[in-house]
Structure 1
Amino acid sequence: MSVIIIGTLDTKGAEIGFARDVLTAQGLDVHVVDTGVMGDPAFDPDTAASAVAEAGGSTLSELRERGDRGHAMEVMGDGAAAVVSRLYEDGNLDGVLGLGGSGNTSVATAAMRALPYGVPKVMVSTMASGDTRPYVESRDIMMLYSVADIEGLNQLSRRVISNAALAVVGMVANDPDVEVEDRPTIGITMFGVTTPCVKTARAYLEDRGYETIVFHATGTGGQAMENLVEQGVIDGVLDVTTTEWADELVGGVLSAGPDRLDAAGATGTPQVVSVGALDMVNFGAKADVPAEFHDRNLHVHNPQVTLMRTTEDECAELGRIIGEKLNAATGPTALALPLDGVSMLDVEGEDFHDPFADAALFDALRATIDDHVELIELDTDINDEAFAETMAQQLHEYMQAAELAPTLGED
């Protein structure tokens, strides 16, 4: 078993050497990738910093002469990603350990994000107690806070680094015996306010032999599903909850970025898409809602989450954006509209019930989608069992037509 350590040997040589010794004492092979730019390495690495820089499209001398730390970190991140990808493809990588401050955290996690899901990835970082999303994004990266700066070995740093190294040992040296069934896999998006819909649809699909993976539509959830579609892990998409686009458009905290809704269309993956939770934009605590939105319809979901109702104009723009995304699809695609409410909060009597905003959303979608996008409309809210089963049945029919359905899934 081989573990890759990514670190800057010009500044963190003692710490990286200590981590290497912990791993080798456990019987693992260790390959050290040096990402240091400015100084000489404390010991000879297995992959030199010069090789990492070249893999990133530059040279070590150019990076030193330029003296631009941000540019150097970007180059070394690209290079480290290329190096570890090659090691993985050659069968020489079973896990990755990174150590560092903000600079090498950026570099090492860029390399980790280039690896498939399931490959053990542990990052010891001074940045791990803050906002880790820029480093983790939608990947399965474990981040361990270093507590003290990674600057010298002492009773604290030795214990933290040892814990991280032994965590990697546990992951790579023990077969978790995770059952992997060769069944078509459906990706489903969910929010708390669309949970009943997803539960019903999921039961329908699993009864017909599919495996389902549910993604919480919190930005990284949508990104993770898009990544897995691109990798071919997901065979069909039931995109119940497209709420991340509301955050992307309006400026909420749970955006999945402008590429959300691209992967299934680009790969020809069968998809049925709805408008779940497009009635809301997400912010943190109520006190953290930007001042420009203080006069809007706000709903305190919990002390850490405040929701804001989308307006007619915002809903119309969301309809146009999503319609254009679906028009670009190369595979079978349906759009399902629940005319009586797009979330639990959007039904009659609830805080976000707004038939005019919903109509703006629906009208924009109808006006935008091309003929090859199948339109399904039901006079129910999104969490009605009939709506959920209609979506699931439509996706099942697409999967059957594409010969992707389970053999037991014949109705």
Structure 2
Amino acid sequence: MSKTILIAGTYDTKDAELSYLSQVIEHQGGSVLTMDVSVLGDPSKPMDISKHQVAEAAGSSIQAAIDTGDENGAMQIMGRGAAAAALALYRDGRIDGVIVLGGTMGTDLALDLCSALPVGVPKYVVSTVAFSPLLPPERIPSDVQMILWAGGLYGLNSICKAALSQAAGAVLGAARAVEPPKRDKPLIGMTSFGKTVLRYMVTLKPALEERGFEVVVFHATGMGGRAFESLASEGAFAAVFDFAPQEVSNHMFGGLSAGADRMTNAGRAGIPQLVAPGCYDLVDFVGWQPVPEALSDRPSHAHNRLLTSASLTADERRQVAGAICEKLSQATAPVAMLLPQQGCNEWDRPGGDLHDAEGLAAFCDEVISGCPGTVDLHVLECHINDPAFSAAALQVFDAWLENGTVAAR
């Protein structure tokens, strides 16, 4: 059960706090490696990974960071170096988890460092801005843990020790308990929402598991799409069922974005894609905040107290169709698009809160006319939540299995 935790931070200004983390981890029977990401100052004692080694891992130097004359530019150099150095340590089997501590500057670096490590490696960030809107979803690693560093801006005290000791115990406990992702079955990534709005995963997940695949379903509300894209960029999936690309609409119209690269990484990585436009017609915004002015005159659905979805106009839906087609045109592996012409979420059925037959027709027409020739388009006379939709998806996938586009092992 001996585990080694990488502790990273600016030891020139936060030596006492970082050293306290080491003490707690070692008192609990763990080991530590220390990484200094300071620029101007020096730690009170030598670190396992010095600031010079961190800068060199970024293909730079501490002097070059100083010469930028800009704290932001200097710390971005250190962020790149910390990410590269941490990944090398993990690949060499020298660390089992990581904890990074900081304010806004340290948190910015922490997101780079933690993003470099694979899913399943325990990653903890102790931050004065944890859970803050300062942190965009596209910067947050898919399985990072954060704790608010209350009272931790400067110096140790009993309040901040409560957060630091929890984080130290948590990362060591996670390193001892973690069950890393298995690779004994090919993985399928699927995007969706809860069963009240999209239901295909209820049918598709067991059907794909019977075919020998492991299925991972991502909640496409910004963070889930970010995790999906992160794993797609690593080539983790044998195929994807990207049936809830609403984050594309969100990014275009100011909703809960998963980043500008949403719906592109599977194509770049050569992963076969089955695509459908689930909830393409909606823009999500934070339900407990005022409705954005640009969406104030739209029909909307309050999903709960956290999340409200507003409907797009027919013209905006055409724009979304064009953006999706453009993204799919860049794919380097087969793409099949399923277009259910009777609707793409439960709320847009006739009689539903957000039913808009004209808008749906506009979207479908734009997809049909603008679909790239490299995309296998299937126009379906059904709703996305009908059994016929899931049956059509499995029919395409089975054909891919038969012709070798997707391998079952």
TM-score range normalised by the length of the shorter chain: over 0.9
What is the aligned partner in structure 1 of residue 400 from structure 2? 398
Please give the secondary structure, in 2, of the residue aligned with 1:225: helix
CA distance in 2, matches of 1:12, 1:245: 40
Q: TM-score, normalised by structure 2?
A: 0.93
Please give the secondary structure, in 1, of the residue aligned with 2:47: coil
Deviations 1:107-147 (A, max 9, x none): 12211110000001111111114237438624211111122
Please give the secondary structure, in 2, of the residue aligned with 1:302: coil
What is the aligned partner in structure 2 of residue 356 from structure 1? 358
What is the aligned partner in structure 1 of residue 36 from structure 2? 34
Q: What amino acid sits opposite 2:146 in the alignment?
A: M
- Post-superposition offset of 1:213: 0.2
Q: Could you tell me whether the CA contact under 8 Å between 1:97 and 1:165 is conserved in 2?
A: yes
Please give the secondary structure, in 2, of the residue aligned with 1:238: strand
CA distance in 1, matches of 2:115, 2:349: 40
Q: Aligned to 1:153, which of 153, 156, 160?
A: 156
Q: What amino acid sits opposite 1:249 in the alignment?
A: M
- Post-superposition offset of 1:256: 1.8
CA distance in 1, matches of 2:287, 2:271: 38
What is the aligned partner in structure 1 of residue 228 from structure 2? 225
287 and 25 in structure 1: CA distance in 2 versus 1, 3 angstrom threshold: closer
Out of 60-69 and 235-244, give the one that drifted further. Answer: 60-69
CA distance in 1, matches of 2:135, 2:143: 11
Q: Could you tell me whether the CA contact under 8 Å between 1:5 and 1:16 is conserved in 2?
A: yes
Q: What amino acid sits opposite 2:234 in the alignment?
A: Q
What is the aligned partner in structure 1 of residue 167 from structure 2? 164
CA distance in 2, matches of 1:178, 1:227: 17
Q: What amino acid sits opposite 2:230 in the alignment?
A: N
Q: TM-score, normalised by structure 1?
A: 0.92
CA distance in 2, matches of 1:81, 1:71: 16
Deviations 1:25-82 (A, max 9, x none): 3333321110112222122111111222232343323333443121122111111101
- Post-superposition offset of 1:403: 6.2
Q: Aligned to 1:59, which of 52, 61, 64?
A: 61
What is the aligned partner in structure 2 of residue 22 from structure 1? 24
Mapping for residues 253-272 of structure 1, pairs under 5 Å: 254-272=256-274
Please give the secondary structure, in 2, of the residue aligned with 1:195: coil
Q: Does 1:144 align with 2:141?
A: no
Q: Could you tell me whether the CA contact under 8 Å between 2:121 and 2:180 is conserved in 1?
A: no
CA distance in 1, matches of 2:347, 2:14: 52
CA distance in 1, matches of 2:266, 2:181: 26
What is the aligned partner in structure 2 of residue 125 from structure 1? 127
What is the aligned partner in structure 2 of residue 302 from structure 1? 304
Q: What amino acid sits opposite 2:198 in the alignment?
A: T
What is the aligned partner in structure 2 of residue 210 from structure 1? 213
- Indicate the percent of aligned positions where both proteins have the same amino acid: 38
Structure 1: gaps (5+ residues): none
132 and 391 in structure 1: CA distance in 2 versus 1, 3 angstrom threshold: farther
Structure 2: gaps (5+ residues): none
Deviations 1:264-288 (A, max 9, x none): 2222212110010012111112752
CA distance in 2, matches of 1:184, 1:12: 44
Deviations 1:77-107 (A, max 9, x none): 1111011111112211211011221111111
What is the aligned partner in structure 1 of residue 376 from structure 2? 374
What is the aligned partner in structure 2 of residue 250 from structure 1? 253
Q: Does 1:201 align with 2:215?
A: no
What is the aligned partner in structure 2 of residue 277 from structure 1? 279
- Post-superposition offset of 1:150: 4.3
CA distance in 2, matches of 1:248, 1:183: 33
Q: Could you tell me whether the CA contact under 8 Å between 1:184 and 1:404 is conserved in 2?
A: no
- Post-superposition offset of 1:179: 7.8
What is the aligned partner in structure 2 of residue 89 from structure 1? 91
Deviations 1:311-363 (A, max 9, x none): 11111111111112222222221110111111111111112211211111111
CA distance in 2, matches of 1:275, 1:179: 29
Considering only aligned residues, what root-mean-square deviation do their CA atoms show, in Å? 2.1
Q: What amino acid sits opposite 1:117 in the alignment?
A: V
CA distance in 2, matches of 1:153, 1:330: 52
CA distance in 1, matches of 2:232, 2:181: 20
Q: What amino acid sits opposite 2:60 in the alignment?
A: S
Q: Could you tell me whether the CA contact under 8 Å between 2:142 and 2:226 is conserved in 1?
A: no
Q: Aligned to 1:241, which of 244, 250, 254?
A: 244
Q: What amino acid sits opposite 1:244 in the alignment?
A: E
Q: Aligned to 1:365, which of 364, 367, 371?
A: 367
Q: Could you tell me whether the CA contact under 8 Å between 2:272 and 2:405 is conserved in 1?
A: no
CA distance in 2, matches of 1:177, 1:8: 31
CA distance in 2, matches of 1:327, 1:335: 12
* Paired positions, count: 405
CA distance in 1, matches of 2:215, 2:265: 18
Deviations 1:248-301 (A, max 9, x none): 11111x212221111222222121100100121111127522223222222222
Q: Could you tell me whether the CA contact under 8 Å between 1:337 and 1:377 is conserved in 2?
A: yes
CA distance in 2, matches of 1:66, 1:403: 49
- Post-superposition offset of 1:177: 5.1
Q: Could you tell me whether the CA contact under 8 Å between 2:266 and 2:273 is conserved in 1?
A: yes
